[in-house]
Every structure is written in C-alpha cells, then in structure tokens.
Amino acid sequence: MPKQATLVLKDGTTLQGESFGADLPCAGEVVFNTGMMGYPESFTDPSYRGQILTLTYPLIGNYGIPGECKDDDNLPKHFESNKPHIRGLIVSEYSENYSHWEAKKSLADWLKKHKIPAITGIDTRALTQKLRQHGTMLGKIVQQTSKAGRVEDAKDETPFEDPNKSNLVAEVSIKKPILYKRGPKKVIAVDCGMKHNILRSLLARNLTVLKTPWDYDFIEAQRTGTLPIEDFNGIFLSNGPGDPAMLEPLHKIIQKALKLKKPTFGICLGNQILATAAGATTYKLKFGHRAQNQPCQDVDPDSPSFKRCYVTSQNHGFAIKDESLSKDWKVWLKNLNDDTNEGIRHKTLPYFSCQFHPEATPGPTDTEPFFDEFVGML
C-alpha cells in the first residue's frame, strides 16, 4: 500500500498525496515549472538548489532515468550536474511504468538513491495558480516516518526553511579550478552552479576553459603567477541558485575584471552578477520564471535582431531592476509575459548577458548563437 504524504505550505494549506521518493521529510521554497519534458536535466540543474519543484505537466516518470555514462571530458551525458539538486518533487501523476531506449531505472528509484522525497496525487495546476496569485511559498513534504509514525507529528518535527537566506552558490560551486584544454582562445568560466551543457557549448566552440570556484580571484591569481593559464581572452559568468546579493566577494572580483575590458558573457545568475558588478540592483520575482517557452524580445534599437522574439528556457527567481542600470549600459532583452529584464549590454565595451538559457537542456535552442557571438568577440 502506498505511503501517505502531505504537502504543507507556510500559509497553512495542506494537500494530501502519496509518497514515491525517499521516505524522508524535506523543507524548502515551493516553485513550479511548466515544461513538458526534460525532467532529468531539470532536476540536476544546480539552480534548483533548496527548492521543492512542482511540475505542471500531468504525467511524470514515463520515460524513466537514463544511465550515468560520461563523455570524454568526464561530464555526464544526460545530466546537467553530477547529482539532482531539487529538495523535493511534487507531481500530479507519477508513472511507475517507464519506457525509453536509454532508460536504466525508474524516477522513484533514482530519487530514493539520492534521498529526495516526492509526492504524487497533487493537483499541480491548482497549486501553480495559488503560487502565481500569492507568490512562491515556503513548504515541506512530510510522511509517516516520524518517531510517532503520524503525519501530524512529522509536520511539527520538520521546520520551514528559506534557502535564499543561505549562500547556495557556495554549496554547488567547485572547490578548485579545473582546466579543459581545447584551442588557443582561453576563457575564465566562473562556476556558480554551471550547467554541464554550458561547458559543453563552450568546449564545442574550441575554447580552452578554466572553470573556477565562485569566489576564486582569478585577477589576483594572474598577478601572482598562480593562475593555471598564462592569460585569458574572455570571461564567462554562469547560472546558479539563490539571491545574487549573497555573492559580494564575486561582485568585487568582477568589478576588477571589467577594468580589463575583455569580452564578458553571463547567463541567468551571470546576468545578475554582471549587472550588480556594474552598480545595478536586483529584486525577487513574485513567482519566478521556470519554463521552456518564455517569449523574450530584443528591444535594443542598435541590435541587428531588434524586435526579434526568442522562445527561451528559463529557471530563475530574481531579476535586474532596469532603472538601476547606469548610463553606460542598456537593456537588451525583455520578457514579453511580464516585461521583466532578460538581458543587458554595455554601450561601448564587449560585455553582454542574458537571463535565460541559450544552452537549453531542456528547452529550445533559439538563442544558442549567443555563444557564437561571444566567441566572435574573443
């Protein structure tokens, strides 16, 4: 008989369902994603660190989980990091039976292996409507695994937890630099929770990439002769979880780096980091953007793609305040759903960034040429 589980929201709402992941309670920020495919990639995206993810697509698990084979760079072929980062999972209907030629195990078995609880039988679209109306909420998934064996006791034993009060980037970033050798052009890639397909996208363009920890002062390392490469041609700022305001050491490093006037490209959190280093501010969105079909338009009259609309893959909960940008910067891209910032450019120097994910996985590849633009600047 399936074990009973309960989703508890900070406002007191309780929703009953059945457990199909790890027999453990969890607490975090409840968010939603409206994508229709790509759950292995989404679950392993470090940007979901600390979050309980709600999937609006009704049937989840039907193609299982692929094997953990790796490519020549020792990167998992089918995942965006080495493990899932979601705190918990909420679905409407979990499919125990799965079928895919690359599937090696069920979603339930994979979640149990990584000690991630999950609940099925929830009206995820109604839950999403609630989150859209009231904003993202703290929540928890509890089961009949407490000392007393009752869900009611488990509710009290598991406190709510706000992940945005922690430096989540420090939890997911690498601890020491890693060098990936390719061609003569060299790029510093600051790892704030970088998805593997971003690294693959850079390497596929024959760039030598030095992947560095989020707080690694590569400017000072170059000055002292301890940088693993002699010099570099550009800087990349990756995606990652949490509040960009928590990353003050990185802001100071990028402020120094911008004085070098070397090409700089940021994605997702990297967009916010670049803006913050340039003196702008960010704010928390009501319910964030987590989807594979967000329409974004080029609003820069000087751009060759002015007024073009891109369909984009997104996963973020914070955004740049347009009005806080200095006169040297301009808004490049806007979200057509809510008019929030989706990208910035410097007016004269080779600095640009986007809030969405050109590398996709999962999602559309409309903006993959942004990587080519970066390479062309080097």
Q: Which two tokens stand for residue 338?
A: 């809510």
Cβ atoms within 10 Å of 326's Cβ, excluding its own:
11
Task: State the Cα torsion 42-112-10-315 to the nearest 10°.
Answer: -10
- DSSP letters spanning 207-251: -EEEEE-TT--HHHHHHHT-SSSS--SEEEE---SS-GGG-HHHH
- Specify whether the CB–CB gap between 63 and 100 falls below 8 A: yes
Cis omega (within 30 of 0) on the bond before 362?
Answer: yes
Pick the catalytic residue from 26, 192, 268, 354. Answer: 268
Cβ atoms within 10 Å of 294's Cβ, excluding its own:
24
Q: Give the DSSP letter of residue 70.
A: B
- Specify whether the CB–CB gap between 340 and 356 falls below 8 A: no
Q: Which two tokens stand for residue 306?
A: 């002015």
Residue 268 known to be catalytic: yes
- Specify whether the CB–CB gap between 53 and 41 falls below 8 A: no
CA distance 36 to 8: 25
- Specify whether the CB–CB gap between 306 and 300 falls below 8 A: yes
Please report where in the chains the tokens 């939603």 appear, as a residue. 32
Instruction: Tell me the β-bridge partners of 52.
Output: 30, 88
- Specify whether the CB–CB gap between 354 and 240 falls below 8 A: no
CA distance 237 to 246: 16
Pairing of strands 59-60, 93-94: parallel
CA distance 140 to 27: 4
Q: Which two tokens stand for residue 371?
A: 């990587």
Pick the catalytic residue from 85, 289, 316, 357. Answer: 357
- Specify whether the CB–CB gap between 148 and 170 falls below 8 A: no
- Judged by DSSP in three states, 333 sits in strand
**Residues with a known catalytic role:** 268, 357, 359
